[in-house]
Amino acid sequence: MEQPGSFSQLCLMMVIAMMVNVDFEALVDAHSRELYAYLWRMLGNAAEAQDCLQESYFKAYRAYGRLDETANTRAWLYKIATNTGLTWLKKRGLMDRRSVDFVEGLASHGAGVEAQVEIRVRLAEVHAAVQRLPDKQRAALMLRKYHEMDYAEIGAALSCSPESARANVYQGLKKLRDQLVDEVAG
């Protein structure tokens, strides 16, 4: 019988750790771009989105060994990223004062100056309206529209039922429409 801490046990532990690292690295490679885009939309800042993504992956790596083999890893990563992003927003006091700097460069370069200004103003209005949505509605709407997740995946990412996810998307869209119609009419 081998002693605890023997060479063969140590080798086995190293092999298992390397296998987990390879699996986790493949998971990171598969989802990094879309998670970064999601966090950038949530935080409105490229550097913070990158930092938040790194923190999300650190949390995911620590929990990876406890993940059920049948789990939807994409939804699991979105859940971690969503929670981490919301925590970042709260820590930084950005909930009510997000920047609309993201509109720079989004206007068409081929359009005239007046058209670019109109596009930027409209994009800023849309961005501000999205940011005024409740957190869960905003996250559900982004996951549905930008990341094409189904309601079951959104529910898993936001810790709610698929029906609740559908309701959050619907209510978010309704509030957006109402806000934007009010801004155009006013």
CA distance 151 to 141: 10
pLDDT in tens, 8-56: 666 555 555 555 555 778 888 889 999 999 999 888 889 999 999 999 9
- Return the pLDDT at 8: 65
Cβ contact 147:38 at 8 Å:
yes
Question: pTM surpassing 0.75?
Answer: no
Amino acid identity, residue 23? Answer: D
Which position has the token pair 């939309």?
41
Same fold, 1-99 and 132-186: no
Q: Where are the domains of the chain?
A: 1-99, 132-186
CA distance 114 to 116: 5
The domain made up of 1-99 has a fold known as Rna Polymerase Sigma Factor; Chain: A (1.10.1740)
Top CATH class of 132-186 equals mainly alpha
Q: How far are the Cα atoms of 118, 154, 186 from residue 114, in angstroms, in the given order?
A: 6, 39, 21
